[in-house]
């Protein structure tokens, strides 16, 4: 069994709000942190350019984080486009499909991402794999569920004969609580970095800068992000729901 360093982590980092918050969470905890992204034929490459920008800027927030943030890897996974159409890989409408799942669901995506993350962590000697999946506000994606992740941890540890740990700091948080977590980890500077430089929009629209960041404002991902931001600001100002 290869040696895994306990205080090291691999963050599955897409360039979105959730994975950027997970990256800060890992940087605050572990001595050595690496990142992993996937080019799976996303319709919009804006996500991949955002991740480069966030990685460059998050280092500047803390001298400790500069020392901790290590290598970044992007793996190419063109095969998802070949498997069939989804709203994230093809120009199809965002809607509920006959299966009851949204058309933004890319079947098998998180299962493959986390299995490849396990392979990378195994090779790099990193004990922990951090992913921003969330069951609270989830968009109906069964591969974001806590039980899916726990089952996958068992499967990769059996299949690799190792002891990796899958960590999901956002699993039970609302989007408002995810903003609060960013505030707790990196203050206003981190919140502003996430607002300005992360990308969540399914349409790949950077366009207008809203209070909650850039995006089309209409797709489910933008609506979730906007509602979470409004709730977070409302809580911060001591309004109803605080």
- Could you tell me the smallest distance in angstroms from the CB atom of residue 200 to Zn ion? 7
CB of 4 to Zn ion, least distance (A): 38
Strand order in the sheet with 126-130: 69-76, 32-39, 5-12, 126-130, 165-167
Least distance (Å) between residue 227 CB and Zn ion: 13
Q: Which residue's CB is nearer to Zn ion, number 193 or number 222?
A: 222
Q: Which residues of the chain form contacts with Zn ion (CB under 5 A)? A: 201, 203, 215-216, 219, 222
- Work out the end-to-end distance of the chain between its first and last CA atoms, rounded to an integer number of angstroms: 48
**In terms of CB distance, is 72 or 196 closer to Zn ion?**
196
Residue 170 vs 222, nearer CB to Zn ion? 222
- Residue 216 or 230: the one with the smaller Cβ distance to Zn ion is 216
Compare residues 178 and 203 and give the one whose CB is closer to Zn ion: 203
Q: Which own/partner pairs from 151-154 qualify as long-range (CB within 8 Å, at least 24 positions apart)?
A: 152/111, 152/114, 152/115
3-state SS class at 10: strand
Min CB(162)–Zn ion separation in Å: 39
26 neighbors 33 (Cβ within 8 angstroms): yes
Helical H segments across 40-103, by residue range: 46-58, 63-68, 79-83
Nearest-approach distance from CB 225 to Zn ion, in angstroms: 8
What is the sign, positive or negative, of the torsion defined by CA atoms of 90, 96, 97, 101?
positive
């Amino acid at each position: 069994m290869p040696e895994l360093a306990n205080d090291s982590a691999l963050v599955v980092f897409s360039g979105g709000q959730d994975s950027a918050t997970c990256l800060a969470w890992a940087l605050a905890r572990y001595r050595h942190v690496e990142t992993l992204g996937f080019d799976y034929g996303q319709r919009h490459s804006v996500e991949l350019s955002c991740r480069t920008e966030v990685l460059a800027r998050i280092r500047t927030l803390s001298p400790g984080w500069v020392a901790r943030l290590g290598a970044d890897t992007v793996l190419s996974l063109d095969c998802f486009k070949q498997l069939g159409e989804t709203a994230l890989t093809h120009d199809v409408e965002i809607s509920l499909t006959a299966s009851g799942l949204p058309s933004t669901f890319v079947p098998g995506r998180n299962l493959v991402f986390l299995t490849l993350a396990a392979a990378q962590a195994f090779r790099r000697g990193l004990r922990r794999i951090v992913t921003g999946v969330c069951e609270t506000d989830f968009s109906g994606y069964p591969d974001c569920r806590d039980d899916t992740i726990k089952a996958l941890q068992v499967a990769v540890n059996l299949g690799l004969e190792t002891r990796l740990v899958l960590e999901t700091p956002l699993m039970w948080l609302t989007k408002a609580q995810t903003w609060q977590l960013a505030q707790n980890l990196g203050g206003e500077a981190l919140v502003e970095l996430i607002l300005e430089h992360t990308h969540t929009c399914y349409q790949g629209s950077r366009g207008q800068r809203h209070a909650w960041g850039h995006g089309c404002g209409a797709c489910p991902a933008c609506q979730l992000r906007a509602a979470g931001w409004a709730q977070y600001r409302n809580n911060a100002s001591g309004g109803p729901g605080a």
